[in-house]
Amino acid sequence: MNYLRTYLSLAIACLGTYTLWVGSHHGWNLLPVFFMQIIDLGWPGQFNLDFMLLLGLAGTWVAWRHRFSGRGLALGLATCFGGMLCLAPYLLWAIAQARGDAKVLLLGQARAS
């Protein structure tokens, strides 16, 4: 789990820095660019669609892990829209809660017991 924690911490730092730089130099209006690339039916759009579906899967997993409770739905939506900048801190928290138990990490405490 230490390698995963290190990776997640580096991902937060790297992606956070990159996001702040891009936003400050190109603006914060990502959605029109994101969806226009999908509408254009090119490789950048294919990547964006794949990425969007992956974010949906990650958000669904987070919500499912919390049994689709209000908190789980909020965390799932944050993951869908925030991507790795939300998922990585969530996973760091979940790893700490799981205390090294991969079953608890993947399923959540309620389902793992």
The string of pLDDT tens digits covering residues 79-89 is 999 999 999 99
For residue 7, is pLDDT > 80?
Answer: yes
Higher pLDDT, 109 or 21: 21
Q: pLDDT tens for residues 32-73?
A: 999 999 999 999 999 999 999 999 999 999 999 999 999 999
Question: What's residue 101's pLDDT?
Answer: 86
- Residue 78 domain boundaries: 2-112
Reference 93, options 79, 113, 77, 80; nearest CA is: 79
pLDDT level of residue 111 (50, 70, 90 thresholds): confident
Please tell me the total count of domains within the chain. Answer: 1
